[in-house]
Each structure stands twice: as structure tokens, then as C-alpha cells.
Amino acid sequence: MRMAEGTGTFSVLAADDKLPDFALVSKVISESRGWNRDDAGRAARHAWGFLGEDLNEDAAALILERCALYGLGAVKVPAALIPALQPPVNIKKSVLAAGNFNYADGGSLAGSESADDILVLAAAPVKETTSRTVTATEGPSGQEKAVRLGIMAVTGLPIGLGKSKEVKKEIKSSEVSFCLDIVLRTQNPPSARPDNRSPAALRRLRLGSNDFDFSCLREKKTYSSQTNFRLMCAELAAFAPRALRNAGLLALLAGTTLAVLPYETAADLEKETLRLAALAALRGL
């Protein structure tokens, strides 16, 4: 996710942890920008709590005015102060022990974090599309055979029914899995950063339902990766109660479906997580 630097622009964020009502966000966007209902609705669908981005002072003030009118808590943040997120590090194993979250990526990376180091927990479904090329041997089609039979019947020439040939085909498949992003506070104190006004990129771990070793759940572990994922989310949420939680994680903890949430691409989770990371920074978590 891009972080604007030194542009003098602002973002307006919904101030509450939970996402605001979709219809209300659409109304605020429509009235503050002069957009029609359909365009505002499309923008609201992927706003994820960002009520406006790259705004000047006047535009930000107009959005805040609309938010105040409808009782929607919002905050104006200089774009340069919105933290960036490091690319996620995929972890394969973890254990909660001695008050720490210990993890490893299955290779050389290992780490340990306290509960206070975890700023955001954000879960979402992820659609993964894979493709592979296979080589198959195919004989002549039915139409080709019919044509050749017709020629042989008319001419009497034994031309045969045609030869088989190798054909390469690309086979695509898609699968929905779940991931949990764990945003951690930066390891560098403000004095160690090259620009004290610009927050350092926050560290981020990613736990995937299809490639994580859930043996850390011990007797709670089931044969279902999705059930195990829910259990792991619940354990981490209990371990780090101060961490901000996204809509996907809240739905998982409540035992409700994520189908109603408009996660279409990884960019949706990225944007939602970024807003929560910005709120965590504003609150000094």
C-alpha cells in the first residue's frame, strides 16, 4: 500500500474500529463529492473505512462536516503520517508460551512477540487461482472422421481416418482459503528513523489456513483447516486483546459468514488493515 510523502494532502478515516455502515459511507461520499448514488456506492464498497484520500484541506473539511452531520466519527490524518505496511512474511508454525507469540516460517526465520507488539489482527478469505499446462493426445474429431469417410466412399482411396496429435492445454483452478495478517509495531524507535515525521513501515506476518501447522492447538485441533483457522484466530485475539480487529476477524469470532463482506482481492484486506494500523498509531498503541 502506497504511503504519500510530503504531498500536504490528507486522508479522512472512520474513527471507530468497526467499519461504518455501508449506506452511510455511500451517503457521505455522494454528498461531499457531488457524485451520483451509483458511483458513490461503488467507492463505498471498497472504501474500508477510508472516507477520502489525497484530499486538500477544504475537501477534507467537507467530508468531516458531512460525517458530523450524520453522527459518523471521523478523523483527518496527514497522508505522510499514515504508516506503510511491509510485505507479509508467511509463517508456518507458532506457539503461545511464557506470555509471548513465538513463530517460524519453516526456514531460517523465527521470532517472538509480546501481546503489546501486536497492533492489528486482520482476517479475510483469499481466492487463489493456479494454472498448469498438461499435454494430451487427441485423435481426429468426429467431423474430421466423417469427412475422410466421405472421401474414401467417393474415391475408394484408403486415406485413413487421420492421425493422433499432442495438444497442450492450460487448466486453471481456483480455491478459497483464509489468511490472518498480524501487524507488529516497528523495531526501530522514532529516533532511529531517517525522517521522524514519517512512520516506519510496520512489520506484518501472514498465517494461511492451507499451509499452517495447527499442531499448536493441541487437543483443539480438528480435521478441518477452516475450523482450525477460526480457533487460531480466537487464541490470538485472546492473547492480544488490545490489538485492533478487522471486520473479517470480528465475523469469524462471532461465528458468522464472511460472504457478506466485499473481499474481492488482496487489496481490500490491505486497505482495511492499513486504516486500523493508522488508528493504532494515532492512539499510541
- The 10s digit of each residue's pLDDT in 220-241 is 999 999 899 999 999 999 999 9
| The CATH fold of domain 10-81 | Ribosomal Protein L30; Chain: A, (3.30.1390)
Amino acid 179: pLDDT: 92
3-state SS track over the chain: CCCCCCCCCEEEEECCCCCCCHHHHHHHHHHHHCCCHHHHHHHHHCCCCEEEEEECHHHHHHHHHHHHHCCCCEEEEEHHHCCCECCCEEECEEEEECCEEEEECCCCCEEEEEHHHEEEEEEEEEEEEEEEEEEEEECCCHHHHHHHHHHHHHHCCCCCCCCCEEEEEEEEEEEEEEEEEEEECCCCCHHHCCCCCCCCCEEEEEEECCCCCHHHHHHHCCCCHHHHHHHHHHHHHHHCCCCEECHHHHHHHCCCCCCCCCCCCHHHHHHHHHHHHHHHHHCCC
Round to whole Å and give the CA distance between 143 and 129: 34
Mean pLDDT value of segment 210-229: 93
Write the pLDDT tens digit of every residue in 111-123: 999 999 999 999 9
Confidence of residue 261 (pLDDT cuts 50, 70, 90): confident
Mean pLDDT value of segment 276-285: 89
pLDDT of 198 > 70? The answer is: no
Closest by alpha carbon to 50, among 81, 84, 78, 14? 14
| Torsion over CA: 240, 242, 243, 249 (sign) | positive
Confidence of residue 251 (pLDDT cuts 50, 70, 90): very high
Confidence of residue 176 (pLDDT cuts 50, 70, 90): confident
Write the pLDDT tens digit of every residue in 24-67: 999 999 999 999 999 999 999 999 999 999 999 999 999 999 99
Report the predicted TM-score, pTM, of the whole model to 2 decimal places: 0.78
Closest by alpha carbon to 88, among 109, 74, 68? 109
- What is the residue extent of each domain of the chain? 10-81, 89-129+174-282, 130-172
pLDDT of 194 > 50? The answer is: no
Round to whole Å and give the CA distance between 69 and 36: 19
CA 32 to chain centre: 28
Say if CB 87 and CB 181 are below 8 A apart. no
Write the pLDDT tens digit of every residue in 115-169: 999 999 999 987 766 666 776 666 666 677 666 666 666 676 666 655 666 667 7
Round to whole Å and give the CA distance between 195 and 150: 81
| Phi, psi values for residue 134, rounded to 5° | -120, 150
